[in-house]
Amino acid sequence: MEKKITAVLVDDEKQSRVVLRSLLENFSSEVEIVGEASNVEEATDIIQQTKPELVFLDIQMPRANGFSLLKQYNEIPFEVIFVTSYDKYAISAIKFSALDYLLKPVEVSDLKEAVAKAMKSISKKDNNGMQIINLLHSLDSESNERKIAVHSGESVKLINTSNILYIESDEGVCNLFTINNDKYSTAKYLKDFEDYFGEASTFVRIHKSCLLNTNHIKGYDKGEPCIIEMVNGQTFEVARRKKPEVLEKLKK
């Protein structure tokens, strides 16, 4: 008989916990629920008592949100699956930290997939604590201080956004090029990066398939065509319609 993993449900809405418990009991029998909590204070006590391997954590809760629970730990001793209603920025930050989340109302297929990933991490003792710490840092930091989680073989690597030279899209995949001449690929769109970085970002889109980090621009020609030279000597042509926006960004 396969060993079950222990889990705690944290959600301020009782009905949401009832639904999630039912889904887990019916479709993820490998999970044993050892406790429930309706707020961060209860969750802290229950987690300390039961020491679960997995926590299903609601983000939006009154008084203190789910992230504040995680901030209590220097090292996260359990896997986390976030559960949330639609929250564009929080979801973006979670995705860019290579973490799993379930969108309410929870779909069975999404639940089974997230549990399978958590079980794999638990069995490999490959805790996602590093990515969670990165997520919390990202939520509190300016965009150029953030890190992006990318898959490198079987592992996850955190890339400082300040070290990214430029990002190019290629048919649903974005390639990240760093100042150290490294290249990483991730299944995201440029719009995902723009949403994650925000308006105060040092990145600017110069045409439909490229974002440049303005911190690594060596110089530019304001003529036609507008050419930007990066610190590594690479040059990029700015699309005519993007030129005013790019030049305004560079002035700042």
Ordered domains of the chain (ranges, CATH): 5-138 (3.40.50.2300), 143-251 (2.40.50.1020)
Does position 143 have pLDDT exceeding 60, yes or no? no
Q: Which residue has the higher pLDDT, 128 or 44?
A: 44
CA distance 32 to 29: 7
Sign of CA dihedral 110, 115, 121, 127: positive
> Mean pLDDT of all residues in the chain?
89
CA separation for the pair 192, 39 (Å, rounded): 31
Which range of 26-30, 62-66, 199-203 scores highest in mean pLDDT? It is 26-30
* Residue 93: Cβ within 10 Å count: 21
Q: Residue 157: beta bridge partners?
A: 150
Please give the helix or strand (H or E) that residue 25 lies within, else none.
helix 14-27
The β-bridge relationship of strands 183-186 and 54-58 is unpaired
Q: Summarize pLDDT for 55-83 with one digit per residue, the tens.
A: 999 988 877 788 999 999 888 999 999 99
> CA nearest 47: which of 63, 61, 66?
66
Q: Contact at 8 Å (CB) between 212 and 201? A: no
CB 81 within 8 A of CB 52: no
Interatomic CA distance for residues 180 and 194, integer angstroms = 23
In this model, does residue 1 exceed pLDDT 60?
no
User: Which residue matches tokens 């109302």?
Assistant: 105
User: H or E element: which one contains 218?
Assistant: strand 217-221
**Does residue 136 carry a pLDDT above 60?**
yes
